[in-house]
Amino acid sequence: MSTDKPDLNGKSCGRAFVDLHSHSTASDGTFAPADVMRLAKKSGLTGLALTDHDTIAGIAEAAAEAEKVGITFLPGIEISAVPPIDNGTLHILGYGIDPASPILTAMTRALIEARDNRNPQIITRLRELGIDISMDEVLAQANGGVLGRPHIAAVLVRKGVVPTIKQAFNEYLGQGGKAYFDKERLAPRAAISRIRESGGVAVLAHPVQLRTTNDAQLERALKDLVDLGLQGIEVIHSDHSDEMVKKYSKLAERFGLLKSGGSDFHGKNKKDIQLGVANGNRVPAEWMERIAARTTGNHKNKS
């Protein structure tokens, strides 16, 4: 088994652990980038990748704090792409991207524009449903971060429309919900290419969310992505059971892919998720080292 459970004290028994999937207030997390780094240090992690949705706005702050507290930092991003299966989700993580890359800047600008097209549609529909909510309230909730559905969900919870963020997604914001609108997504080829052209390593996030219905379908989807330049797969994630971790680990080995893993920490927007722990599993620091060694941008991982 290539994963490790924390012992009863949450200590790592001498081994080093990292978290390679986390969100900050730069997107839909509730901890500022520097606070995510401080929490990582406090949680005993030796390294962390910040992977905000569609933005690198939190990277500079996180990198500076990482240096201050003495933690290895890998700049990252998480990008939504057109999924191979209709009701599935395809997210690609980009690790070690160069924040100064003009290709990256152009891509994040286009992705945020796609959100700017979608978000007002959601608000209009919610208002048509008789819910008292405004774009200004949602923007205030995002507080300058890339505006995502969790921000809208948080406003719905605060106003007592729904009891939890989960319920907001089930009833209104998730696929099949009363106020669901898709946003324009990048083709997988473009997402992978842009990440690599920006010096990054392209990794498939939470493969369980592809919603493939059998192993053959999963393997076909993975092979297609590998043919497009995918370099790694997220083996450990909060949505992955131990059985899935084993399965994705074997697939990584079979396809010659880097292994990644993380909690997908969002702070209070995902209350059940603790930084550094993904459904009881922890991510070995060596995985981070291997990924960092494959980045080609200016922002090399320090060790």
Q: Which positions lie near Zn ion, rule CB under 5 A?
A: 23, 28
Residues that bind ligand AMP (CB under 6 A): 28, 53, 148-150, 165-166, 169, 174, 266
Q: How far is the CB of 273 from Fe ion (least distance, A)?
A: 10
Q: How far is the CB of 232 from ligand AMP (least distance, A)?
A: 20
Q: How far is the CB of 221 from Zn ion (least distance, A)?
A: 22
Rounded Cα distance, 271 and 282, in Å: 18
Per-residue DSSP letter, 171: I
Residue 65's binding partner out of ligand AMP, Zn ion, Fe ion, none, with CB under 5 to 8 Å set by partner kind = none
CA count, 13 A, side-chain hemisphere, 175: 8
Stated as kind and residue range, the H or E segment containing 195 is helix 188-197
Residue 91's binding partner out of Fe ion, Zn ion, ligand AMP, none, with CB under 5 to 8 Å set by partner kind = Fe ion
> Which residue from 74, 91, 234, 240 is in contact with Fe ion, where contact means CB under 5 A?
91
> Which residue from 212, 264, 278, 292 is in contact with Fe ion, where contact means CB under 5 A?
264
Phi-psi domain of 295 (left: phi exceeds 0; alpha: psi -120 through 50; beta: other): beta
The residue sitting closest to Zn ion, measured at its beta carbon, is 28
CB 201 within 8 A of CB 260: no
Nearer to ligand AMP, 188 or 297 (CB): 188
x/- mask, Fe ion, residues 221-260, rule CB under 5 A, reads: ----------------------------------------
Amino acid identity at 168: A
Phi first, then psi: what are they for 260, rounded to 5°?
-130, 170
Neighbour count for residue 242 (Cβ, 10 Å) = 14
Q: How far is the CB of 76 from ligand AMP (least distance, A)?
A: 14
Place of tokens 């083996």: 235
Stated as kind and residue range, the H or E segment containing 168 is helix 165-168
Q: Which residues bind Fe ion (CB under 5 A)?
A: 78, 91, 205, 264
